[in-house]
Amino acid sequence: MKRLGPTRSLARETHNELRAAIEAGEFADSKIPPEAELADHLGVSRTTVRAALQMLEQQGIVSRQRGVGTRVVPHGVERSLKVEFNRLTALDELLTDGGHELATEILDVRTEVLPTIAETVGLSRDEEWHVVEKIWYTDALPAVFLRDHIPTSVIATLPSDHVVLGSIFRIFTEHGPAPIAFARTEFVPRLVDNEVASHLKMKAGAPYVRVWQRHHSIGHRFLAISQLDVNDELRILFSRRVYPSMVK
């Protein structure tokens, strides 16, 4: 890897340099060095390195796990796939329509600044976001760990917990500036980290797919972004109904 110079988007340049190094097989045992070491080598800040690694993680190129570090996703695992869905039905509705008993547990509701996510959707890095974390249980089994991100500039104050318990589609239909009309969806191969293993009772280090959905109104206004970690043992339960062309 080369030492980087000034640029308009240092995080993007750092991402490009790290990706090139990964593709060239420069990291032994597929293990990425610590952020401090990378920052020193590239001549950038740890914040810049962290943002670059987050980009690589969202693309399914690396997997980051607390206490273990950052590793390159094996070549045998496909990279991320992006598709757009124009006919949407909330996942909770699909599950209940299929005769499954659905329950929801809210883990956390908070407001925070998310500069990396904001940059990907063209918002100010200083934008504040509502973050809603919850688990969907299907037939009493943890099926989905869901994290919704809603800019406060889109919805200033979240509705009651009763509404938040439902899907993001319900939130925007009843309380948003416009209903969700379509979603740009990305499937990102990952390895199960400790957080996902704890929430979904999956084995840490096992491969699975994270789903990112970028929600828009009929006028193409960006509304929110959702992150869904799906229990791999239960994904066939709904994947034939949600993503039928992708299930063999």
Helix axes 35-42, 46-58, angle to 10 degrees: 110
Give this prediction's pTM: 0.62
The tokens 């239909």 sit on which residue?
173
Is 144 or 75 the better-scoring residue by pLDDT? 144
Tell me what pLDDT residue 110 has: 94
CA distance 226 to 88: 14
Please state which CATH number belongs to domain 81-246.
3.40.1410.10
- Percent of the chain at pLDDT above 70? 77
For the chain, the three-class secondary structure string (H helix, E strand, C coil) is: CCCCCCCCCHHHHHHHHHHHHHHCCCCHHHEECCHHHHHHHHCCCHHHHHHHHHHHHHCCCEEEECCCEEEECCCCCCCCEEEEECCCCCHHHHHHHCCCCEEEEEEEEEEEECHHHHHHCCCCCCCEEEEEEEEEEECCEEEEEEEEEEECCCCCCCCCHHHHCCCHHHHHHHHCCCCCCEEEEEEEEEECCHHHHHHHCCCCCCEEEEEEEEEECCCCCEEEEEEEEECCCCCHHHHHHHCHHHCC
Domain boundaries along the sequence of the chain: 10-72, 81-246
Residue 148 pLDDT level (bands cut at 50, 70, 90): very high
Sheet holding 141-151, edge to edge: 81-85, 182-191, 207-216, 222-230, 141-151, 128-138, 102-113
10-72 belongs to CATH 1.10.10.10: yes
- Please write the tens of the pLDDT for every residue from 178-222: 988 888 888 888 888 889 999 998 888 888 888 888 998 888 899
Tell me what pLDDT residue 4 has: 58
Q: How far apart are the first and last CA of the chain?
A: 40
One fold for both 10-72 and 81-246? no
Residue 94 pLDDT level (bands cut at 50, 70, 90): low
CA distance 78 to 98: 30
pLDDT of 154 > 70? The answer is: yes
| CA distances for 192 relative to 62, 131, 151, angstroms | 12, 21, 27
Which of 100, 56, 97, 102 has its CA nearest to residue 79? 56
What type of residue is 105? E
Tell me what pLDDT residue 100 has: 63
pLDDT of 168 > 80? The answer is: yes
What type of residue is 61? I
CB 84 within 8 A of CB 99: no
What type of residue is 101? E
Is 205 or 224 the better-scoring residue by pLDDT? 224
